[in-house]
A and B are shown apart, each in its own frame.
Chain A
Amino acid sequence: MTREDIESGSQDMVIDEGKPEGGERMQGNAAPEGFNVNYLKVYYGKLFPHADMFKWMSYGNDGKHPACDQSYFGRREFSFTLDNDIYLRFQSFNSASELENSIKEKCPFKIDIGPVYSVDPAKRHAYAQSGDNVFAPVERELIFDIDITDYDDVRYCCSGADVCLDCWPLMTVAIKVIDASLKDDFGFNHILWVYSGRRGVHCWVCDGKARRLTNEQRASIAEYFRVYKGNENSHKKVSLSDPLHPFLGRSYTEVLKDFFESKLLLSQKLFSTEERYEKILEMIPDESITSELRGKWQDNKRSSISKEDTNVVRWEQLKRILQSGKHKAQGPQMCVKEIVFSFTYPRLDMEVSKHMNHLLKAPFCVHPKTGRVCVPIDPNCCEEFDPTSVPTLSKLLEEMNTGSLRADIDNVLLMPEWDRTSLGKSVRFFRSSFLQPLLKACKEEIENSYNAKLQHSKNSLNW
């Protein structure tokens, strides 16, 4: 997401009244909910993992190896959104301390990360638009943005900016499907999933190969992932081949089918009202089938014997008729899968992934509307992730003030601030699961290409 959302969320920003700056002490260490500038200042001062962000963005080019590219970090674009919607693009920094100082000084409400350019963005005006000497992106992570509002036509519990534990699992499922494919199909290893702070997730694929993909190649991966095509006007937005491509087949049998039948059907009560089941009937092209089913369900008819949930019963009825083979046309056969895909298959924002110069919010930012930190999500146990219990700015400050969170450790005061709060878990995960393996791989890559160059020049000196 690169722009502030202009919509009325159900939760308005809480405005502080008459708070002294610095350490807030209210009754029992509680701090007001939400987001405010003062808290943000403290956050950037004590909690935001500046050094880790620098290490990540350097991709091993920290100057310790002769083959390091000293200019690499300085060619990365950052953008800051300040208070009052002031937007600063093409920010760049030459060292970790420059980055840190600028963030602390400007206290941006949002930090976006852009691509690595051919030259320092600060010098871009000196370069041409085309030809040989250009200012153009040369590296950029492969990124994905999944936003739950894109699923509004299939979730009934919430709408708009709201998210709850009934609909959040749609994001979980999206992570599972995409993550598995990025690893198994495309062979990527260094993948970071991040909570966007309110109602979605971001994905950063950081392998060297991914960073060097062209726009066309990025678009092809996004298209490979795309299944849902349509808008309010089309009834049938998912059209599947028979047989399915192995990627879709695997997603269906390993993730989507089970999720739909044992979770979504019930949490969203997909067949419980006429309006809801009509939406599903719209996806079935055969009139005789739909009228048969309508006949069974209208007026809330229920089999008095069955104690099972209506939604489950009706889904079973639908499946039985579609798969009965009574209607031999190909359409009904694939309908069951198409319905499942319509509700559960990931819906990506294609534009985000396709262009190298697209900006994306940095992990560990704080969402201005919710006060929640954009923390990483572990794809291997993403079912356990609960967006409603992600640490907020005020909670973190409270924890800092009391310092009571890690009372179990003796030398609590020797630990970094963030580790004394619930942010600690996220930072530790970021480091061990993502950053360390990534940097190790980067160092190896730098080492290898250096040795290859040496070998090459040795060979060319042989007479």
Chain B
Amino acid sequence: MEIVGSRRKALHYDAVSTIPLYRSAPALEVRLEDFELFAMDRLRVLKGISDALSRGKKPEEMQQVERDLWKANMKHPEASEVVNKDIISHFVLRLAYCRTEDLRKWFLSMETALFRYRFMSESVEAQRALMAEFDLPYKAVSNAEFESTKDKLWQVARSVVPPLSTADTVFYKVPFEEVPELVAGRRVFVHKGHAYVARNQVVSLVATQFRSHLSKALILTNRKWISTIREQESDRLAPIVEALCTSYLGPDYSEPRELGDISIKEIDQIAQSSFPLCMRHLFEKLREDHHLKHGGRMQFGLFLKGIGLKLDDALAFWKAEFSQKVGAERFDKEYAYSIRHNYGREGKRTDYTPYSCQKIISSSPGAGDHHGCPYRHFSEENLRAALGKMRLNNRAVEDVMDKVRSRHYQLACTLTFEAIHGTSCDAGINHPNQYFTDSQKYLQSK
């Protein structure tokens, strides 16, 4: 796979079956941006599967979960590029997740689960083609043989828990040693050295093979990473790869929120009720000083964009404040440009996304700055005061301070949210815009 600047060249990919098997890195070229974006989209799918599994979703439900996640994240405007995105994203994640035992284990489990659900959704012919790809020399049981063994096959089907559907008449005859799990559980009829595997059971076999191939590939990838790639790509791909595992994956709030746009008139009110502490602080300081330094403008400005403030309204808002300090002309000359820039109307035309908690927490506000995460960057005294102003009771304040001391800043913010709204926030706060959306949702449901 070749990573290039911004040139693009589509190449053929011989799709033998609908699900790619990721046997070897394909001869595709990919843009640097796509390198990261595709991987993050796929990571959302894998994390979504991981979440659903840990919430105890049943296998039947998981197939639908996978379908929804895939549809939501793995599309591409050009239909021909969908498969490429699938493949590229897998291989990029291999790089990211080959580096430690724990990462490999997680990636292996999720990719295998993903493969399993996709396989189950395929047609019979596609499944057969995939089985052939895995060198699973499975012959379907002939009609004659089926007739003579079907009583036993159905007896087995009804003896297992949960029972297999006896409507399924497709069975594969397989050397018993190739399906040890099924034999061990007495989930197959075994005769003269062959196991008779129902179509539904074949999924496990294919998934096992997939997993074993990927497991070996990950080890090789890790070796390559350590020996050559990490060094060679230390200022291009390596930072992207290393960040992938910890990146924020929630909604990026670049789309205007469904709840409709905000007008400037509403800002004061919603700031009181629904802004997280970091944004309340910035807003307060903006109102107080009629100014914010660059870090604060970025953090707060993008947040406002995320909650639905349109460009024109934003310009008016900031102008109203700043012109009290620097005057209207200077505002137009020096500050308006960067606001338009944030909205993607200037220069590179990148539509910047509001900062996530992770990003905010890791920033380093200096003298005169008000951005950053109060739970991290404020002194204990100032933080207590701020929480008091939000009308948290003593008990809640202590709980929050407790979290702060153990450096769980997002949990501290979550507790604040819960204390103010009087409701629980199971998902935890990961993004200021999420805090805002959840808050609005809750308030409007009352």
Q: Give A residues with C-beta under 8 Å from B.
A: 184-188, 209, 213-214, 216-217, 219-221, 223-224, 241-249
- Pick from B156, B177, B185: contact of A217, CB under 8 Å: B177
Assembly CA distance A187 to B155 (angstroms)? 21
Question: Which residues of A lie under 8 Å from residue B156 when comparing CB positions?
Answer: 245-246
The contact sample of 22 A-B pairs, CB cut-off 8 A, is A185-B191, A185-B192, A186-B176, A187-B193, A187-B194, A188-B193, A217-B180, A219-B180, A219-B184, A220-B183, A220-B184, A221-B184, A223-B185, A224-B184, A241-B160, A242-B159, A243-B158, A245-B155, A246-B152, A246-B156, A247-B186, A248-B186
Assembly CA distance A224 to B189 (angstroms)? 11
Cβ distance A182 to chain B, nearest Cβ, rounded Å: 10
Cβ-based interface call for B161 (8 A): yes
Assembly CA distance A220 to B177 (angstroms)? 8
Which residue of chain A has the shortest Cβ distance to B153 in the bound complex? A246
Interface code B79-102, partner A: CB below 8 Å = 1, 0 otherwise? 000000000000000000000000
Assembly CA distance A248 to B180 (angstroms)? 18
Cβ distance B154 to chain A, nearest Cβ, rounded Å: 9
Assembly CA distance A213 to B175 (angstroms)? 12
Which residue of chain B has the shortest Cβ distance to A185 in the bound complex? B190
Cβ-based interface call for B181 (8 A): yes
Question: Which residues of A lie under 8 Å from residue B191 when comparing CB positions?
Answer: 184-185, 187
Cβ distance B24 to chain A, nearest Cβ, rounded Å: 22
Q: Contacts A241-B159, A241-B160 given; indicate if A247 touches B190 (C-beta within 8 A).
A: yes
Question: Which residues of A lie under 8 Å from residue B161 when comparing CB positions?
Answer: 241
Which residue of chain A has the shortest Cβ distance to B161 in the bound complex? A241
- Pick from A214, A220, A246: contact of B189, CB under 8 Å: A246
Chain B CB within 10 A, most for which of A186, A216, A223: A186
Question: Which residues of B lie under 8 Å from residue A185 when comparing CB positions?
Answer: 176, 190-192
Cβ distance A248 to chain B, nearest Cβ, rounded Å: 8
Interface code B156-187, partner A: CB below 8 Å = 1, 0 otherwise? 10111100000000000000110011011110
Q: Contacts A185-B191, A241-B160, A245-B156 given; indicate if A209 touches B177 (C-beta within 8 A).
A: yes
- CB-based closest 6 A-B pairs: A187-B193, A220-B180, A223-B184, A220-B184, A187-B192, A185-B190
Number of B interface residues at 8 Å Cβ cutoff, please give it.
21
Report yes or no: A224 in contact with B183, Cβ–Cβ below 8 A: yes
Question: Which residues of B lie under 8 Å from residue A186 when comparing CB positions?
Answer: 176, 190, 193
Interface code B178-221, partner A: CB below 8 Å = 1, 0 otherwise? 00110111100111111000000000000000000000000000
Which residue of chain A has the shortest Cβ distance to B163 in the bound complex? A241
Which residue of chain B has the shortest Cβ distance to A207 in the bound complex? B193
Assembly CA distance A223 to B152 (angstroms)? 20
Report yes or no: B159 in contact with A244, Cβ–Cβ below 8 A: yes
Assembly CA distance A214 to B180 (angstroms)? 10
Cβ distance B285 to chain A, nearest Cβ, rounded Å: 61
Report yes or no: A243 in contact with B155, Cβ–Cβ below 8 A: yes
Chain A CB within 10 A, most for which of B152, B180, B183, B185: B180
Assembly CA distance A214 to B183 (angstroms)? 14
Assembly CA distance A241 to B191 (angstroms)? 20
Assembly CA distance A9 to B134 (angstroms)? 56
Which residue of chain B has the shortest Cβ distance to A248 in the bound complex? B186
Cβ distance B189 to chain A, nearest Cβ, rounded Å: 6
Question: Which residues of A lie under 8 Å from residue B194 when comparing CB positions?
Answer: 187
Assembly CA distance A174 to B86 (angstroms)? 54
Assembly CA distance A241 to B185 (angstroms)? 12
Q: Contacts A209-B177, A216-B180, A217-B180 given; indicate if A245 touches B186 (C-beta within 8 A).
A: yes
Question: Which residues of A lie under 8 Å from residue B181 when comparing CB positions?
Answer: 220
Q: Contacts A241-B159, A241-B160 given; indicate if A224 touches B177 (C-beta within 8 A).
A: no
Question: Which residues of A lie under 8 Å from residue B160 when comparing CB positions?
Answer: 241
Assembly CA distance A186 to B190 (angstroms)? 7
Cβ distance B153 to chain A, nearest Cβ, rounded Å: 9
Cβ distance B207 to chain A, nearest Cβ, rounded Å: 16
Report yes or no: A224 in contact with B155, Cβ–Cβ below 8 A: no
Question: Which residues of A lie under 8 Å from residue B159 when comparing CB positions?
Answer: 241-245
- 9 more A-B residue pairs beyond the given contacts A223-B185, A243-B155, A246-B155, with a C-beta to C-beta distance below 8 A: A185-B190, A185-B191, A219-B184, A220-B181, A244-B155, A245-B155, A245-B159, A245-B186, A246-B152
Assembly CA distance A253 to B159 (angstroms)? 17
Question: Which residues of B lie under 8 Å from residue A223 when comparing CB positions?
Answer: 183-185
Cβ distance B150 to chain A, nearest Cβ, rounded Å: 12
Question: Which residues of A lie under 8 Å from residue B155 when comparing CB positions?
Answer: 243-246, 249
Question: Which residues of B lie under 8 Å from residue A213 when comparing CB positions?
Answer: 177
Question: Which residues of B lie under 8 Å from residue A188 when comparing CB positions?
Answer: 193
Interface code B228-243, partner A: CB below 8 Å = 1, 0 otherwise? 0000000000000000
Chain A CB within 10 A, most for which of B155, B184, B191: B184
Question: Which residues of A lie under 8 Å from residue B189 when comparing CB positions?
Answer: 246
Which residue of chain B has the shortest Cβ distance to A221 in the bound complex? B183
Assembly CA distance A186 to B193 (angstroms)? 4
Question: Which residues of A lie under 8 Å from residue B192 when comparing CB positions?
Answer: 184-185, 187
Which residue of chain B has the shortest Cβ distance to A250 in the bound complex? B152
Question: Which residues of A lie under 8 Å from residue B186 when comparing CB positions?
Answer: 224, 245, 247-248
Assembly CA distance A209 to B178 (angstroms)? 12
Which residue of chain A has the shortest Cβ distance to B185 in the bound complex? A223
Which residue of chain B has the shortest Cβ distance to A240 in the bound complex? B159
Cβ distance A236 to chain B, nearest Cβ, rounded Å: 17
Chain B CB within 10 A, most for which of A185, A219, A223: A185
Assembly CA distance A157 to B152 (angstroms)? 39
Assembly CA distance A239 to B58 (angstroms)? 25
